[in-house]
Amino acid sequence: MNYHQVLSEIWLNKKEEIETTIRSWAHDLRDNAKTLEEAKKKFHQWEPLRIYTNVTRAKSKGDPVFSLRYCGQEIGVLRVCGADVKVQITDRKLILNNRKWFQCDISGEFNWNSAQGKELRQHFKQLAKNKSFNVGVPEHHVETALIHAMRSSSSKNKGLLLGYQPVFLNGNLPFQMPVPISGASKGLPVYKPKVNGNIDVLARKRCKNNKVILSVWELKKPGTITNHTVAQAYIYAVTLLFMLRSDSGKEWFKIFGFKGNVPDKLTLESVVAITKNHESRCSKQFNSLIKDNPLKIGNDSIKFAVAFYNKDTFNLMSLEDLK
């Protein structure tokens, strides 16, 4: 299937609507980044709990709100109200998931530095110490492990991920990177107004020639691969290229940590992260993809790679080019 043609037709037919949407996203992230950064300074982020933000929360005009996560899975929210930092675990689905996946019955609204806040942090600290990985959404565990490895100089994966850094808002605030066209489970590009997809991990990669490129990661849970995994990775990479070539491309380029104008020629890396047992299926999908889809789009190009990780520890085992 020619995914590039379908993507191009969607973008052409909905160009004004899509460009208005992504321009709004860029403005929201840019305009509220400093507010979020100042709010983040008002509390200490205790490992293994981490905070994230997204476009919806970034554009909020009220109190700054962060997603509080364990191994990538949201367990509650942090709301910064002046000098106070409140934990909110009030959503029924969150409460049930926390109980089911993390054996955590702590809920309600309370101060981050209260006795209940300390109890919450201790619970997840002990959970991490016991290495209780078989809980929650597996892809979130893979995502967390990769981001941690990219950020940490002491990680076992750092040799394979040398030169990689996750794209964070203002350089140190994790956020979900939205895209207006998603690669649905059937592998078809999908555009729905007010509904966006998200890139699993977006990183900057410093290559051997010292050039820095963007790296788009598509993650699959241990032991699985869909029939369209490589196609999904392609859809997200091409969509990101379209965003960078849009009227708001320069703003996105700056959000991603670059200076100046978007270069005339861009190279994007698209990485599929799977377990080793699906190596041959991944190769077959890639060979099928490139029969009908260009990896060179105008002056821009996409390079594919596959990352194999350990299904039990989520540590990266190898990172290889797909050819």
pLDDT in tens, 37-79: 888 888 887 888 988 887 877 666 678 889 999 988 899 999 9
pTM of the model: 0.90
Specify whether the CB–CB gap between 248 and 19 falls below 8 A: yes
End-to-end CA distance of the chain: 19
Strand locations in the chain (E): 49-52, 65-70, 73-81, 84-89, 108-111, 164-166, 177-179, 181-183, 189-191, 197-199, 201-206, 212-219, 267-274, 296-297, 300-309, 316-321
Parent domain of 102:
32-129
Rounded mean pLDDT, 141-160? 80
Position 262 in a domain: yes
Q: Are residue 291 and residue 207 in the same domain, yes or no?
A: yes
**pLDDT at site 132:** 60
User: Same domain for 175 and 283?
Assistant: yes
Residue 283 has pLDDT above 80, yes or no: yes
If one counts the domains in the chain, the total is 2
At residue 133, does pLDDT exceed 60? no
On whether both 188 and 95 belong to a single domain, the answer is: no
Taking only the tens place, the pLDDT of each residue in 178-234 is: 999 987 667 789 898 887 889 999 999 999 888 999 999 999 988 888 889 999 999
Would you say residue 84 lies in a domain? yes
In terms of domains, do 214 and 306 share one?
A: yes
Looking from the CA of 185 toward its CB, the CA atoms found within 13 Å total: 0
